[in-house]
Structure 1
Amino acid sequence: METQQELEWGEAQKIVLSENLVATAKQQLLFLAEIDRNRGLYDDGPLLHIAIYRYKYCWLPLLAKHIESPVTENPLVVPLDCEWIWHCHRLNPVRYKTDCMELYGRRLGNSNVLSSTQGTSKEESEKIWDSMYPSEPYELVGPNNHSLQGFAENFLEAKQSTTNYDLISAVKRQNTFFYQVSRPYWKEDTFLEGAVARYKGFLHLIKRNKEMRINRFSVPTYDIDLIWHSHQLHPVSYCNDLVAIMGKVLQHDDTDSDRTKGQKLDVGFSETTAQWEETFGSRYWKAGAMYRGSPPSPLTVDKYKIVDSHHYSSAPSNNTNQNLIQLPQKLLVQVMLEIVDVRNLPSGHKGKLLVSFNKKQEDVFFNTKKQLRISSKTRGKQVAVFQCESNGELLLELISRPSFNFRGLKLAKVLGKTSINLEDLQNVASKLPIEKWLDLTCTANWSKPISIRIGLSLTPPVSAPYKLHFVSMLPFKKSYFSFLLPRRFQQFKCWTNINVVNEASNRIINIQTGNLSTEKTKSSINKKVIGRTASGKTHLLAELKGTVCSMENSNWMLQIKKTGDEDKRLFELFELTGTRNVTLILSIDSLFYY
């Protein structure tokens, strides 16, 4: 940053926020994940309408009473459905404040109130709720809740006045937000601390616009927006802080979602980016904080219709085979890279400049070479976004190409090279985007070394997902390889050999499956899964009896629960039971779990 830009950034960081927004953001992410598991609260259907009714006629009056005089010694725990509507209402801070003042004569804050995902005193809160609303259950979300079937007869008579704010539209505007902020690194302190610093910078820009009477629609990146939401979830503190910062309560306008080029959102983001980079001298984009695209299609099968109850079965406590399959641990980062400028080019240089980049070491996730234009030398900017392993070096080469190729000859020339050690920059670049000049090791001796200015941002490293493929082989008769197996497994009549390979097509597991038929089991066929390690040693991993697949020496059991046609879509329902309960729905085109 230049001196004036450093002063501006320092001034922005002096902004005082009265809440711990890192802690609030973490709690918000937990809550949004829980709402995402109860997707009926997203849709404009009976569940959402009941939740809005309960929020307006049950929760708000109870909250107002609690704020006036605490109704419980412990913090009051808000029911999940009411908390979701309250969450969306507070994200319009001006309207929420107006509604509270008109209905209750005061702002209803969240002091001495706990989220449903924190509810250590939920039983006490439930008793208070039941005493005030005996015909309306405390918990709404659940497969057997009678409020979902007969809510009309259980509704309270709405005698008191309430808000007419369009809460259904408010919910719809928020139902895709969690997808944008749901990746694991969003929970990391360094990422969120950087987001708070950037939120202060965002408020500083809006304050400057107000002082200069510039009417600009400022658009946040998603890390800034998460912190902005977190601030608004403390409605009293938010109002007080914003009045102190800029003399008024800042409205949160989330009504525009059209990202088409030239529309309000696109223009606002471009102007915010330009103002940020001019004011602070740093990149506005940040790795992991940009728009991910539209969320994937949600699960269409209603889990409450097909899951009757959860049954936890006892499982062997012996963990002999728990770590039988050892997979290498890899850490993954998302990288954003921009080549901002170049200096000290040889005098008289002509031609087009670009920078190629690739990982110096072998990388499972990024094994190609890509190119970027230099922003200062072209119209517009070009930013690369990619994922790679968190270690190793990124090799950059400055390449000069003539404006025209002579008779198809490739006359590109490498002017210089440099490299970036990702591990060295991780702590800094995962908090805030960095900019720095890098001197190149040049192929010729010039008076000054050529330098390129880069903008770089990394996400905090997280465990990389494993991508395994089942490669099915043709069935073999027992005689072909029964010598590989212990005698007790040679009673299998027909075998299928399956290899499990990773992204690099290296075999991780070899599985042989077969049908077991003996005199005792002529009326039924049992299936067993046997794993064979690289040393040739075999292990009985699982056995299928009827509809239950038990994992040998493991805490897990897989059971086929139901096969059917839900809304004319074929599906199979499985339940994986062990240290936690996981329901798997295998449809004709996707596999879902919750």
Structure 2
Amino acid sequence: MNNLFSLSFPNCNAKIIKHDGTTFTISYHELVDHILLLRQVINHPEMTQQGDVLENFIKDYCEKMARQEMKFRHQQLDLPWQIDWIWHVHRLHPLAYYNDCCKQLADGEPVDQKIQKFPTNYNKQCDAVPSNSSTNCHVNFVPSIDLVQAVLRQCDFLNKFKKHVFYSCDLKKMDTLLFLELVQNYACFMKLARQNDIIVPTFNIDLIWHTHLRYPQHYRAFSTVVCGFVVDHDDAIEANVLSDALQKTADRWKETYKSNMIQNVDTKTSKASQYVTSSRMVRAPVLNKTYNGTSSTYISNGVNIGVSSCGGGNTLSCDGGNTSSCDGGNSSSCDGGNTSSCGGGNTSSCGGGTTSSCGGGCGGGCGGD
């Protein structure tokens, strides 16, 4: 951990384990780091409003990327939270971010997250102001997405987050089993990706998805292994398309896992009753390759989810049998309660192949890196 303050948070790791032993870990500290950044942004509305402040911090971000001043641990520790926010939004578009880094940075490698900052670091940078020294500098890192518009689109997500228990609860008292269930549902959701189709997450799933996207290389490896391709994340989708896709996703979830996707942890971690999703979608490419002997499907019992806390804890299955659910049982709030395991159905579709990626843009598309 990066500072003593981090030790006050539960030390919980959710492990996603494939049948071949391949393991991916999402830590509670990573979620905390993400949540604290969101709280900071909400407290500073100028970072989600069009204007000179936002545009100047975007310029600073691009210049730091061009000069590779964000690559190493010590550089990220000193990074103003405003720059971290711009970087976060860029990483929410994994294909664009990967291509931008590979094509424009001197070493041709994506800049990856090395640390969790936690509040002491954020507060240290609270009064950061954008630099004016870049006026005459040549910026040779130009994101392929409009970062101003990408930031503005996050307002919807932030407004929903303000209704969520994580916005105000004491993160030091988080029930680790609730965190495990959130990651389980995220993994189950990712396994629903199908060929040339759109799936829409609930807000809780999207929160974990955003957290995972903050670690580009880990996310890329996870998505390739579990889904067979790099799943893109797109927040530019029209409301009518979103609504229809959400219902189709919920139907697919129920068919696969024998449970309701929407009537899950989301309804128990919300302060308001009227929200279930944010505007996110994935479009999976058409894949003709096979994965572990299957064609066009991913066998859901190929992945388990486990949790370890302080070196121990329980292991819960995300594959289950024929009748278990992927979200069932009672879930807790931030400070206690019980939660059940995350079973699965028989199969969930995730496409085949191992190297394909999904194109970006509002409607998605297919293509390589």
Band the TM-score falls in, shorter-chain normalisation: 0.5 to 0.7
Distance 2:25 2:93 in 1: 19
Distance 1:55 1:79 in 2: 10
The AA in structure 2 aligned to 1:119 is: N
> CA offsets per residue over residues 457-488 of structure 1, 9 Å max, x none?
5552769xxxxxxxxxxxxxxxxxxxxxxxxx
Note closer, same or farther for the CA distance 1:14–1:288 as it changes in structure 2 (3 Å cut). Answer: farther
Matched, 1:85 2:86: yes
Structure-to-structure mapping, 1:432-443, within 5 angstroms: 432-434=327-329
Structure-to-structure mapping, 1:145-544, within 5 angstroms: 147=129, 154-164=133-143, 165-182=145-162, 183-184=164-165, 187=171, 188=174, 189-206=176-193, 209-210=194-195, 215-256=196-237, 258=239, 263-285=240-262, 286=264, 287-288=267-268, 432-434=327-329, 459-460=332-333
Distance 2:104 2:147 in 1: 16
Distance 1:118 1:197 in 2: 30
Distance 1:121 1:172 in 2: 23
What's the offset of the Cα at 1:115? 3.0
Q: Secondary structure at the match of 2:192?
A: helix
Correspondence for 1:35 = 41
Correspondence for 1:117 = 119
What's the offset of the Cα at 1:26? 1.9
Distance 1:461 1:289 in 2: 8
The AA in structure 2 aligned to 1:253 is: D
What's the offset of the Cα at 1:25? 1.4
The AA in structure 1 aligned to 2:260 is: R
Between structures 1 and 2, the one with greater helix share:
2
Distance 1:88 1:223 in 2: 18
Distance 1:292 1:79 in 2: 35
Distance 2:137 2:268 in 1: 45
Between structures 1 and 2, the one with greater strand share:
1
What's the offset of the Cα at 1:190? 3.0
Correspondence for 1:399 = none
What's the offset of the Cα at 1:204? 1.4
The AA in structure 1 aligned to 2:94 is: P
Distance 2:119 2:65 in 1: 17
Note closer, same or farther for the CA distance 1:272–1:238 as it changes in structure 2 (3 Å cut). Answer: same
> CA offsets per residue over residues 413-472 of structure 1, 9 Å max, x none?
xxxxxxxxxxxxxxxxxx9433xxxxxxxxxxxxxxxxxxxxxx5552769xxxxxxxxx
Distance 1:176 1:85 in 2: 16
The AA in structure 1 aligned to 2:59 is: Y
Note closer, same or farther for the CA distance 1:120–1:171 as it changes in structure 2 (3 Å cut). Answer: closer
User: 2:36·2:118 contact (CA, 8 Å) conserved in 1?
Assistant: no
Distance 1:433 1:280 in 2: 10
- Given candidates 13, 19, 23, the residue that maps to 2:25 is 19
Q: Secondary structure at the match of 1:44?
A: coil
User: 1:77·1:121 contact (CA, 8 Å) conserved in 2?
Assistant: no
Gaps of 5+ in 1: 1-11, 123-138, 295-430, 435-456, 464-594
What's the offset of the Cα at 1:281? 0.6
User: 2:259·2:327 contact (CA, 8 Å) conserved in 1?
Assistant: no
The AA in structure 1 aligned to 2:103 is: E
Correspondence for 2:109 = 106
Correspondence for 1:504 = none
Distance 1:90 1:63 in 2: 17
> CA offsets per residue over residues 55-80 of structure 1, 9 Å max, x none?
1113552435x44xx7x4x9633211
Distance 2:76 2:84 in 1: 14
Distance 2:236 2:223 in 1: 21
Correspondence for 2:315 = none
User: 1:85·1:171 contact (CA, 8 Å) conserved in 2?
Assistant: yes
Distance 2:152 2:268 in 1: 24
User: 2:102·2:109 contact (CA, 8 Å) conserved in 1?
Assistant: yes
User: 1:21·1:227 contact (CA, 8 Å) conserved in 2?
Assistant: no
Distance 1:35 1:292 in 2: 24
Note closer, same or farther for the CA distance 1:190–1:85 as it changes in structure 2 (3 Å cut). Answer: same
Q: Secondary structure at the match of 1:161?
A: coil
Task: Give the root-mean-square deviation of aligned CA atoms.
Answer: 3.1
User: 1:79·1:116 contact (CA, 8 Å) conserved in 2?
Assistant: no
What count of residue pairs does the alignment treat as equivalent? 255
Does 160-169 or 79-88 show the bigger shift? 160-169
- Given candidates 56, 59, 77, the residue that maps to 1:53 is 59
What's the offset of the Cα at 1:107? 1.2
Distance 1:121 1:181 in 2: 21
User: 2:186·2:209 contact (CA, 8 Å) conserved in 1?
Assistant: yes
User: 2:34·2:211 contact (CA, 8 Å) conserved in 1?
Assistant: yes
User: 2:98·2:110 contact (CA, 8 Å) conserved in 1?
Assistant: yes
Distance 2:166 2:85 in 1: 24
Note closer, same or farther for the CA distance 1:88–1:433 as it changes in structure 2 (3 Å cut). Answer: same
Q: Secondary structure at the match of 1:20?
A: strand
The AA in structure 1 aligned to 2:117 is: S
The AA in structure 2 aligned to 1:24 is: E
Distance 1:178 1:26 in 2: 16
